[in-house]
Structures are given as C-alpha cells and as structure tokens.
Chain A
Amino acid sequence: MKKLINSADDVLADALKGIEASDGNVRVDHTNRVIYRAEAKDSGKVAIISGGGSGHEPMHGGFVGLGMLDAACCGQVFTSPTPDQMLEATTTVDTGAGVLHIVKNYTGDVMNFEMAAEMAADAGVQVETVLVADDVAVQDSLYTAGRRGVGTTVLLEKIVGAAAEEGQDLASVKAVAQKVADNGRSMGMALTSCTVPSAGKPTFDLPADEMEIGIGIHGEPGRHREPMADAKSIAKQLVDPILHDLDFTGAPVIAMLNGMGGTPLIELYLMYGEVVALLEAAGIKIERNLVGNYITSLDMAGCSLTLVKADDELIRLWDAPVKTAGLRWGL
C-alpha cells in the first residue's frame, strides 16, 4: 500500500485538520468529528445533516456550506458515523425549525441514524429522515438490505439544501428530498479495487483484463465481472439498467458522470460523451450535468452514472446559489 498518510489509524483525524486548514467556510469539531458551516444558518430555517463513512470525498464534508449541508458527520473510512456524533450535530444545527437527516441506505448508516433520531426526539428536536436508495445494480427485494444509496445523494444534498435555504418548512423540505430520492437512479463500474488504509491491501482482486459492473462505493464487489471493453460498451452497461428501471423521457434530467477517485478526468469526459449520445438516442434531454469526482471510493478506478428525473421546481433549486468546497455557483 502506498498512500499519503501518517498512519492508518490517524487518516480521518489528520484529514479533518487539512479540511479545516483548507476551507474557511467550515469549522471542524475534532472531538465529535463533525464538519459545520463556519457561519450558522439563519434562525427559523430547516437544517440539513448528512454523514457516512469517510473515503467518499468530497461527499459529505465538501458539501457543507451555503445552499447545501449544515453539518456532515464523518465516520471512519467506509464506516458509518455513530449516534453520538449525529446527535451532537443535530442539536447544534437546529435553529428551531427542525432537522432533516439525509441517509444513504446502508444497514449501518440506517441503524446509527435511527438511534440518533430517537435520541434527538428525546432532546426535543424535530427530525425527519430521507433514505437514498438509488443503485439499480442491487435488486431491491425483501431478501436484501435494499438498494444502496450512491450518486443521487450528491444531487439531493444540493437541491434539498436550496429548499431549506429559501425557507421551506420541514415537511416541504422532506417532500422535496423524497421527490429527488424517488426519481434518482445510479449505476457504477470499477476498473480496479480500492485499498482501505486499515486493511493495507486491495479489498478485492480484479485482473488486468476484467472489470466489475454494478460496483458500490466501498470496494464491495459488484454483481458480475466481465472482460474489459471499450468506453462505448461500458457506457451502454451503465445507461441500460438505469433506463430499464425508470422512464426518463418527457422530463428535464440532471445527470452526473462521477469518478470513483482513481480515474483521470479525460476518461470521465470521454465517458460522459458516450453517455450523452446514448441518452439522446433514447429521447432523453439532459438539462443540467456534473462531470467529475463527487462521490468517490478512495483510490478506485471507475465511474458511475446518476440520473435524476427532475421538474421545473427541482431545476430551479438546482440553479440556486451554492458555496461549498465541492460545488460552487451563482455567487
């Protein structure tokens, strides 16, 4: 393992020091491992919290700031944060209008946020939760933990953050969040595994001539392995399962072609070009897009595609000003 770290145990603590040093718009509670806005939101506005395992940067800490999150709870690498962190964050950011928890559908995250919401309710804070479960690679059934929460989380944090910023109440903010969650779909693929610092070696072995389709964001193996193919064929393998799952025609679509952390931008742009061609051929209109590394998996090479079937309200909220380390426009 070759990584720019001091020791595997200190990766998170050391990274938080760097985040604090790099971004004047946030402050870091090192004890509780929570990243907050440096300037708290106006009183009476709904606060938005997310969090999860680290290793997906810029998500979530890079999305704390005006127009997005009020706080991000940082777990260890690929490990859910804990209820005490979430409770601290929830009570800190509440301005009296309640708090929305944005939770990716992983068993650990769901359980820890559930415990935190119970504790926050005991402390007199109104909490609502939205679950993101957008990964079409996972067959949703009663016999699994359900679909994983992946790329839609990024787009949802942006849109819901704008709804809270313009003063919508907790019920409306929750409804907007649910609309994005219901209309977002993602599919990912990997060219390589990633290496968790505490493990010291790749999570799985992927031979040079193979790729993993349907990968998540934790180096968990996908649903199937295939021989390496060209970008055009890979794009089709991302687009088809998404379109098979939800009809994206007849609505403005927000698309994100996301890198897993170890893939050069030139390849991501190339892939985006292939994706756009396929979507246009299917009669789908991309109104807004992001191309880059927004929800990563440490040093994994690969990419994921996320589509959100939007409407005028969601596009308006998407365009609203945002000022975070990871996304910034309109200011």
Chain B
Amino acid sequence: MTSSTLTLDLLADWLRRFAAIIDENKTYLTELDSAIGDADHGANMARGTAAVVTHLDEATTIDGLLKKAGMTLVSTVGGTSGPLYGTLLMKMGMATGSVVELEPDQFGKALRAGLEGLIARGKTELEDKTMVDALSPAIDAYDAALADGADLWDAVDAAQQAAAAGRDATTPMVARKGRASYLGERSAGHCDPGATSSAYLFDALADVIGT
C-alpha cells in the first residue's frame, strides 16, 4: 500500500525517518567528514534532526511543519549543514502554503524552491562536490518521472536512485566549496558527506511512502 499524496502526517513521518537514518549512520557520516572535512557532520546532523523530531507533533499545517523543522536545524546544527538544510526546509515551507496535503507535483515545486534557496545560500554549483550533487539530480528525476505520467511511488523511486547516483558521483570530484576545497586534489577519492546525508532524505521519503 503506497500513498498517492503527501499529507502532513506523512511528511512528519518523513522527517522522523530521516532523523532515524541519520542517527543510524552518524558514525559513518563523521568518518566521511574526517577524510575531507572537520569530522563533525554525523554528530551535528544527529543533534539537529533529533531536535526536529521533538517538534513534529506541534505542526498543524505543512508549511508550519517545514518552517519549524528548518529553523530548528538552523539553530541546532551549526556548521554549513545547519544553514543549508535549514534553508532547504524553510524555503520548501514557504512554497507549500498553509495546507495539510500536497499533490505530488506541488511537493516537487516545494523541493525545487528549497533547492534554489540552498544554492543561493551556499553559492554552490553542480560538481562542487556538495549536497547539491545529490539533491539536484534527485529533484530533476522526480519532476521528469511525474512529467512522464509516473505516480508518486515511481517518482520517489526515481529520485532515490538519482540521489544515490549523484552521491556516488561525488567520489572522484575535486571539492570547490566548503572545507574540503582546501585539500585541492586530495579531496578526490572520497565520497562527500553532505551528498551522502542528502541522499538519506530520499531514502527516508521512499521508506515512508512505501509503507
């Protein structure tokens, strides 16, 4: 039994599942960040997403849910991940309006608005070896699937696969943004921690839509 729309409860479950996946993988994320960053991505994301979970039941609308989650990440994560994930969710919330249910294409528009906000905040382009390398292809794949007449499950499945492929594609890249960029060529050969945690967003979405 899969969902055909994205309800307030489903999106709250999405963020709950995202927090759980982050928590399960926080040591791995920190290991990735030790290689090319400053060894705090797992701990920071685990702290932030755990704080998000404590507020999920307060929301009565989808924009309220996403804006609160975004602000919570901004104020608890720190680093680059706080403002970037926070901006992603806040801009998504600003795009949905005060509703309790989204059609798949409306959710796609919100994702796109979130991504654009994140890119503006991070001044990031594709192939900088960042979160954007997982998020951007995932959102493109989601939109393309819907445009081809796919249902929500197939669109999310396409997004999940594209996010994973985008994440894996960061491994050979030389970082041009963030702390990894200081390593120059030495940043190549390591998977990007931000792209890795970004892919979890779509793993979490697939998990909650498929149940």
The answer on A and B forming one complex is yes
Query: In the bound complex, do residue B37 and residue A220 qualify as a contact, i.e. CB atoms below 8 Å apart?
Result: yes
Q: A82-B76, A145-B178, A203-B34 are in contact. Are A108 and B83 (CB under 8 A)?
A: yes
Q: Is the CB of A199 within 8 A of B34?
A: yes
The minimal Cβ–Cβ distance linking B136 to chain A, given in whole angstroms, is: 18
Taking a contact as CB atoms closer than 8 A, the residue among A76, A137, A196, A199 that contacts B78 in the complex is: A76
A269 within 8 A of B: no
- In the bound complex, residues from chain A placing their C-beta under 8 Å from that of B103 are none
A172 close to B (CB within 8 Å): no
Q: Is residue B121 within 8 Å, beta carbon to beta carbon, of the partner chain?
A: yes
Closest residue of chain A to B185 (Cβ to Cβ) is A223
Indicate if the CB atoms of A112 and B44 lie closer than 8 Å: no
B97 within 8 A of A: no
CB neighbours of B182 from chain A (8 A) = 137-138, 144-145, 148, 216, 220, 223
Whether, in the assembled complex, B80 has its beta carbon less than 8 Å from a beta carbon of chain A, the answer is yes
Contact A80–B178 (Cβ < 8 Å): no
A-contact bits for B33-60, CB 8 A (1 contact / 0 none) = 0100111100110010000000000000
Q: Which of A185-226 contact B (CB under 8 A)?
A: 196, 198-199, 203-204, 216, 218-221, 223
Q: Could you tell me the distance in whole angstroms from the C-beta of A208 to the nearest C-beta in chain B?
A: 20
Q: What's the least CB distance linking A140 to chain B, in Å?
A: 11
Binding site of B, secondary structure by majority: helix, strand, loop or mixed?
Answer: helix
A198 touches B43 (CB 8 A): yes
Q: Is B206 an interface residue (CB 8 A)?
A: no
Say yes or no for B172: interface residue by CB 8 A criterion: no
At the interface, yes or no: B210 with Cβ under 8 Å from chain A?
Answer: no
Interface membership of B96, Cβ < 8 A = no
**Shortest beta-carbon distance from A93 to chain B in Å:** 19
Closest to B31 in A: A199
Flag if B80 contacts A111 (CB, 8 Å).
yes
* A198 pairs with B30, CB closer than 8 A: yes
Q: Which residue of A lies closest to B183 (CB)?
A: A221
Rounded to whole angstroms, the CA-CA distance of A320 and B39 in the bound complex is 39
B82 contacts the other chain (CB 8 A): yes
Given A198-B40, A198-B43, A220-B37 in contact, is the A108-B30 Cβ separation under 8 Å? no
Q: Does B189 count as interface, using CB distance less than 8 angstroms?
A: no
A239-B39 Cα distance, complex, nearest whole Å: 29
Kindly state the separation between the CA atoms of A216 and B82 in the bound complex, as whole angstroms. 22
B3 an interface residue at 8 Å Cβ cutoff?
no
Residue of B nearest to A113 (CB): B83
Tell me if B195 counts as interface (CB < 8 A to partner A): no
A219 and B83 form a contact (CB under 8 A): no
Asked whether B75 lies within 8 Å of A79 as measured between CB atoms, the reply is no
List B residues 78-125 near A (Cβ within 8 Å). 78-84, 121-122
With known contacts A78-B38, A111-B122, A218-B38, A143–B176 Cβ distance under 8 A: yes
User: Nearest chain A CB to B48's CB is how many angstroms away?
Assistant: 10
In the complex, the answer to whether B78 meets A112 with C-beta atoms within 8 Å is: yes
Determine which of A78, A84, A204 lies in contact with B74 in the assembled complex, contact meaning CB atoms within 8 Å: A84
| Given known contacts A107-B177, A216-B182, A82 and B122 CB-to-CB distance under 8 angstroms | no
| Residues of the B chain whose Cβ atoms lie less than 8 Å from the Cβ of A81 | 78
Let me know if A79 and B74 touch, CB within 8 A.
Answer: no
Chain A proximity of B24: nearest CB distance (Å): 16
Q: Mark B19-38, 1 if CB is under 8 A from A, else 0.
A: 00000000000100010011
Show 15 A/B contacts (Cβ-Cβ < 8 Å), sorted by A: A76-B40, A78-B40, A80-B78, A83-B74, A83-B83, A84-B74, A107-B178, A111-B122, A139-B184, A196-B40, A198-B39, A199-B43, A204-B34, A220-B37, A220-B182
Q: A82-B75, A111-B84, A221-B186 are in contact. List 12 more A-B contacts (CB 8 A).
A: A75-B78, A76-B47, A80-B78, A106-B179, A137-B182, A144-B175, A145-B182, A148-B182, A199-B40, A216-B182, A220-B182, A223-B182
Interface residues of A (CB under 8 A from B): 53, 75-85, 106-108, 111-112, 114-115, 137-139, 143-145, 148, 196, 198-199, 203-204, 216, 218-221, 223
Nearest first, the 9 A-B pairs at minimum CB distance are: A144-B181, A108-B80, A198-B43, A79-B78, A108-B79, A218-B38, A111-B83, A84-B75, A199-B39
